[in-house]
Amino acid sequence: MKFICEKDKILKGINSVINGVASKTTMPVLEGILIQTNDNELKLTTYDLEIGIEYILEANVEEQGNTVVNAIMFSEIIRKLPNKNIKIAINENNLLEIECEGSLYKLATMNPDEFPELPRINIDNSIEIEQTVLKNMIRKTIFAVSQEENRPIFTGCLFEVINGKLNVVAVDGYRLAIKSSIINEKGNDFSSVIPGKTLNEVNKIISDSFEPIKIGISKNQALFEMENCKIVTRLLDGEFLKYSNTIPASWETRIRVNKNNIQECFERIILISASSIEKEKKYPVKIDIEIGKVTISCANQTGDAKEEIYVETEGKELEIGFNPRFFLDALKAIDDEEVYIEFGTNRSPCIIKPVEDGDYIYMILPIKMKD
């Protein structure tokens, strides 16, 4: 195997696949990148048996071949080389030679025949969507997936197609995020739960462009396909929350507020609230809603803080407590200038949604305040 490739191109490929490398495994080959040549193309593949990533790029291939090399070492060497063409070849001792200007590195290789094939998926349902739309949908929901492995179904996002609309839903037991988008194609309704880890990788790879990405779903696998990259992942098993039943149909108190203004209040007050992570739930932020004004406050052993902000209010006055980080996550994800925040009682969920974007809803449960 021998080829020459621009540093920027191969580095982009490595960065796209690197997080498919297994971190804890008894199979050393899974800690590597499979490098394959085909005509004047170079294919890089990683696979940790849960997520597999394949990336194809142009290269000047002089001799065909394939090999596996340790991903971290290969990545770091390429990253630190000069911004010139890089020559890569397998020598007579089966070492991978990496040459660039005056630099020469030789790396041990592994048998490519031992690298497992990515699953071949028999697609049952598929949709095509613009990359920028999917990127936005993931960004507005992924932060609300659960980090607790004892409820694995909630460590992913629900992808649900109903009547020509794609809903992406994340829930962790304390909050819920839903982003919807119309899809311009006819097909069957379906729903699957895709791991959050996979969606984070998809979001890093896809561009903020109108180029399409195809999402294919089988019984237990999902496939994301772009022009030069594909990602294969397992689906999560289990029954997802029937989320539509949990969203309040009405409110008793509602405020309309400039998103940046209230976000900045929370960013300041969280300095007191989150000064001890373990105490964040014991000492929530208190929100007092009066006519035309909201007071956000927090007090604990570290100190106390209070923010006042003028808003448009409707309905009853209310005092309620929340985890401020959950509030802040939603506000950071919203692009609109103004948001509605809707409340029921001080024990019922709160809804945050953009004034203009009717396809995004975020729900958060309150925390019981101490007397």
pLDDT score for 184: 79
The DSSP H or E segment spanning 260 is: helix 259-273
Average pLDDT over residues 187-211: 93
* End-to-end alpha carbon distance in the chain: 72
pLDDT score for 280: 44
Q: What is the mean pLDDT of the chain?
A: 93
pLDDT score for 357: 85
Higher pLDDT, 148 or 179: 179
Q: Does residue 279 surpass a pLDDT of 50? A: no
- The values of phi and psi at residue 44, to 5°, are -110, 135
Residue that finishes a domain, picked among 83, 114, 145 = 114
322 shares a domain with 256: yes
Residue with tokens 């982009």: 12
pLDDT score for 94: 96
The answer to whether residue 371 is domain-embedded is no
Task: Kindly write down the DSSP assignment for every residue of 54-70, as one continuous string.
Answer: EEEEE-EEEE--EEEEE
pLDDT score for 187: 77
- Taking alpha carbons only, the member of 142, 127, 144, 247 closest to residue 182 is 127
Average pLDDT over residues 82-93: 96
Confidence of residue 371 (pLDDT cuts 50, 70, 90): low
pLDDT score for 144: 97
Pairing state between β 165-171 and 156-162: antiparallel
The answer to whether residue 369 is domain-embedded is no
Confidence of residue 186 (pLDDT cuts 50, 70, 90): confident
131 shares a domain with 110: no
Q: Which amino acid is at 24?
A: K
91 shares a domain with 197: no
How far is 192 from 236, CA to CA, in rounded Å? 8
Residue that finishes a domain, picked among 59, 91, 114 = 114
Residue that finishes a domain, picked among 114, 147, 168 = 114
Q: Radius of gyration over alpha carbons of the chain, in Å?
A: 25
How far is 307 from 324, CA to CA, in rounded Å? 13
The answer to whether residue 315 is domain-embedded is yes
165 shares a domain with 102: no
104 shares a domain with 19: yes
236 shares a domain with 133: yes
32 shares a domain with 18: yes
Average pLDDT over residues 150-179: 95
pLDDT score for 282: 53
How far is 190 from 259, CA to CA, in rounded Å? 34
pLDDT score for 275: 61
Distance of CA 22 to the CA centre of its chain: 18
How far is 81 from 98, CA to CA, in rounded Å? 10
Interhelix angle for 259-273 vs 324-333, to 10°? Answer: 150
Average pLDDT over residues 212-220: 95
pLDDT score for 273: 79
The answer to whether residue 59 is domain-embedded is yes
pLDDT in tens, 224-235: 999 899 999 999
pLDDT score for 276: 53
How far is 119 from 51, CA to CA, in rounded Å? 10
Q: Does residue 69 surpass a pLDDT of 70? A: yes
134 shares a domain with 86: no
109 shares a domain with 130: no
The answer to whether residue 119 is domain-embedded is no
Q: Does residue 152 surpass a pLDDT of 90? A: yes
CATH of the domain at 26: 3.10.150.10
Cα angle: 119, vertex 123, 124; to 5 degrees: 140
pLDDT score for 92: 94
C-alpha to C-alpha distances, 273 to 171, 211, 241, 368, nearest whole angstrom: 23, 42, 30, 15
How far is 137 from 319, CA to CA, in rounded Å? 32
pLDDT in tens, 1-22: 999 999 999 999 999 999 999 9
How far is 369 from 347, CA to CA, in rounded Å? 10
The answer to whether residue 256 is domain-embedded is yes
pLDDT in tens, 103-133: 999 999 999 999 999 999 999 999 999 999 9
How far is 1 from 204, CA to CA, in rounded Å? 30
Range of the domain at 104: 2-114
137 shares a domain with 39: no
Confidence of residue 299 (pLDDT cuts 50, 70, 90): confident
Higher pLDDT, 24 or 54: 54
- The values of phi and psi at residue 332, to 5°, are -65, -30
102 shares a domain with 136: no
**The two structure tokens encoding residue 74:** 């290969």
pLDDT score for 283: 67
168 shares a domain with 135: yes
The answer to whether residue 120 is domain-embedded is no
- Name the domain count of the chain: 3
